[in-house]
Amino acid sequence: MAMEDAEQPLLSPRLVGEDSHHQEQLLSRPSNTTFTPGIDDIPPINGVRDFFREYLIESKKLWFLAGPAIFTSLCRYSLGAITQVFSGQVGTLALAAVSVENSVIAGFSLGVMLGMGSALETLCGQAFGAGQVDMLGVYMQRSWVILNSTALMLSLLYIFAAKFLRVIGQTESISKAAGMFAIWMLPQLFAYAFNFPMAKFLQAQSKIMVMAVIAGVALVLHTVLSWLLMLKLGWGLVGAAVVLNMSWIFIVVAQFLYIISGACDRTWTGFSWKAFQHLWGFVRLSLASAVMLW
């Protein structure tokens, strides 16, 4: 039984009879079948004017999706950058600790988690193509299981960050401060594990604007709270860790509330035990995605 589960594909057709009938129809078509453009296809281009007109139309469609996606990425990247800016006003050691933790410890973990979560891009595309949109929620939950397991392993890097930094040549003071800051940033690591699958889940449905709004609000709150806790109240590195963790947790909670609010009623049907099935096949695809991203 275990072998049968292992050999079963991640995405299989539900209606075998309909699939066979569809294949027979395809095979019975004459070889001289011609392509008939649909209403969404670009009409024939007859000159430079037609080319630029269609170029502008397609560019608007592209930027409608790419614009909010770019804004979202910039906002999320700016969370760490703003923390570093305020850390520089706290002191030289605080700036060094935050910079080293962001670039070495969190940077490595971010790459691994983002790569592992990229498997959803393939599976969500397959699910849409096969008409199995309700499987998107299952795939997202399955990715949560995989990425949280990965986060547990990566947490060792956070716990022993001070020793690791000493090994690669950092000074004692910076290694100690960055190691302590890394331990405080463990909640951010597990926020990554929930955020990246939800981001791929929403992107597959072209729900980019809501991600941009959430990221923009998070950036504004992050900036205000960083100033308040790190400088005004004098919390220093502790304030940096609190605000950065809160910002990522806010993004995760806001996206999850949007998903379960009914806006994704076709793709989110609730928690399912299916998330724990075929995990090994999902792990292999996630590892392949991580390697390609690296």
d(CA 95, CA 101): 10
Hey, what are 282's tokens? 């999902």
Hey, what are 263's tokens? 């806006």
Per residue in 236-246, pLDDT tens? 999 999 999 99
pLDDT of residue 4: 43
d(CA 291, CA 286): 9
Distance of CA 14 to the CA centre of its chain: 28
* Window from 3-7, 72-76, 84-88 with minimum mean pLDDT: 3-7
* Window from 124-133, 142-151, 188-197, 237-246 with minimum mean pLDDT: 124-133
pTM of the model: 0.80
Per residue in 25-64, pLDDT tens? 444 444 444 545 555 667 777 777 877 888 888 888 888 8
Sort 88 into a burial class: Cβ within 10 Å, 0-12 / 13-18 / 19+: middle
pLDDT of residue 46: 76
Angle at alpha carbon of residue 133, lines to 127 and 134, rounded to 5°: 120
